[in-house]
Amino acid sequence: MTAPPSQSESVVRSAGVVSIAVFMSRVTGLLRESVMARLFGAGLIYDAFMLGFRIPNLTRDLFAEGALSSAFVPTFSEYLSQRSKEEAGRLVNLVATALIIVVGAVCAAGVIFAPALVHVLAPGFAAVPGKFELAVRMTRIMFPFLLLVALAAQAMGVLNACNRFGVPAMASTFFNIGSVGFGILLGIFMGPMLHITRIEGMAIGVVLGGALQLVWQLPSLRGLGFHFRGVLDWSDPGLQRILRLMVPAILGNAAVQINVMVNTNFASSIYDPLRGLDGAVSWLSYAFRFMQLPLGLFGVAMGSATLPSIARSAARGDMDEFRRTLSNSLGTVFLLTIPSSVGLMVLGKSIIGAIYQGGRFQLYDTQQTAVALSCYAIGLMGYAALKVLSPAFYALNDARTPMLVSLGSILVNYLAASSMIRLAGLGHAGLALSTSAVALFGFVVLFAILRKRIGGVYGRALAAQIGKVALASAVMGAAIFASSRGMETWLGVSQMARLADLSVSLPAGLAVYYGACRMLGLTDIDGVIRAFAGPIRRRLRR
């Protein structure tokens, strides 16, 4: 499982750069959600806002950060290594022009058919006066965000293929800062003058934040010699190859979006004894925001850093290097996400309470969100591994397999979600559990297929590593459970008490986990620490 330093260590170092940037993105995202929680709580207004934001996000994942990235990066990487810079630049402009035309049309259709979309996604909203109408308004305001983020995703793909990882990974940070900054400015300070409500101002802020996310990356693109020129040739071989890869990728990602739609549909009709039909959509959204922190830091970072490397290996036909790089990346993902899952489950209430509780977000909301977070955390390993496994198939020019597995996940999700809610009566926690089940299902199936396809992925070594990581994580979990319960008994459950708990339990947990890893012979932990801490040290020395 040991890889040559020239390839696998480079991937981990690149992932470290991405992780630092993604960490900033996730932290600013949490701050944005904290502002929203205090202003709007968990109920009618935020439920409607989240649905309006989720609809363009579904299509964003479908066209941009999912299918487009997976199809574009391998093709563009091949152009960079085997063709001229001019041909690579022309491919960038072809894709950008096609995006403006196609995604722009989707945005226009989304604005027109917003009522139908809201009705399909959240029929339960119509039972609450004003909730359906507000969700339609939010959807119409935020739908143009899709085009901006699609162009930003393409820019990210170009920079990643050119081994520029920090700037594109920081783009989401600028979205978070821009969306909440513009939202507060427009909705709170200028709202009366503009005759818009606070939540409408925040929705407009999302669109302006999306524009900032794109603009932030443009200087780096120009620095590499890429300048946008409108050009469209549907017969171009490179564009046709990307479209061929995108079609099954879209179908595969469509399965993920269908799962989200099914779960949103269920959530909109969940009745809570205290909140009635309000709250479930918000609790699930707030909880998944915390899932995105380790998922982005480790899963997305490793996936972004791994894809260009394995794409180059596949283009050269060097499958030994392909296997080593992929195995090393998966091992790093497991080393980091399994303890993260345990930490989220044990410290969920303290984390949610410290960040969100206050204003209109009450203790009951903290408790319900923490339950959802614990259920989501079960599938974190699967989520993160899929970020590495799925692009590996695209690097092999196989978009069909991930598509078929994703389509199969629709049935798994529906059966799991309906069983958890209707038979087990688990409410919104059941939806989080069904989401985790789908992630783990996808990981197991794709791993088995890829292992057979490329003649092994060092499976025994990975299994042994997972066992050791699970043991080290269990020791860490016991330590932070004792620490957290002791702090709660001593200080109570106020927001300051939650912050004090985290300030003690998190460092203690990290120290215990590191010590357990060393005792179990997981020396990869040192390389990971160097890779992820290196960018911080370099910045501090400047």
**Distance of alpha carbon 478 from alpha carbon 487, whole angstroms:** 14
Backbone angles phi, psi at 276, to 5 degrees: 70, -130
pLDDT of residue 186: 93
pLDDT of residue 391: 78
Amino acid letter, 405: V
Torsional sign, CA 487, 493, 497, 498: positive
195: CB partners within 8 A, 6+ apart:
none
Q: In the chain, pLDDT over 90 holds for what percent of residues?
A: 25
* Closest listed residue to residue 155, CA positions, set 91, 96, 80: 96
Torsional sign, CA 469, 470, 475, 477: positive
Under a CB-based contact definition with an 8 Å cutoff, are residues 210 and 145 in contact? yes
**Distance of alpha carbon 217 from alpha carbon 152, whole angstroms:** 8
Under a CB-based contact definition with an 8 Å cutoff, are residues 342 and 322 in contact? no
**Distance of alpha carbon 381 from alpha carbon 363, whole angstroms:** 29
* Cα 77 off chain centre by: 23
List per-residue pLDDT tens for the chain, 542 residues long. Answer: 444 444 555 555 555 556 676 677 777 887 888 888 888 887 789 889 988 888 777 666 555 555 677 778 778 888 888 888 888 889 999 989 988 998 899 899 999 999 999 998 888 888 888 999 999 999 999 999 989 988 988 888 888 788 787 788 788 889 999 999 999 999 989 988 989 999 999 999 999 999 999 999 999 999 988 888 888 888 888 888 888 877 776 766 666 567 767 777 788 777 777 666 677 888 888 888 778 777 766 666 666 666 667 777 777 777 887 888 788 888 888 888 899 999 999 998 898 988 888 878 888 888 899 999 999 999 888 888 888 888 788 778 787 888 788 888 888 888 888 888 876 678 888 888 888 888 899 899 999 998 888 887 777 888 888 899 999 999 999 999 999 999 888 888 777 888 899 999 999 999 999 999 999 988 778 777 776 555 545 544 55
**Distance of alpha carbon 449 from alpha carbon 451, whole angstroms:** 5
pLDDT of residue 288: 83
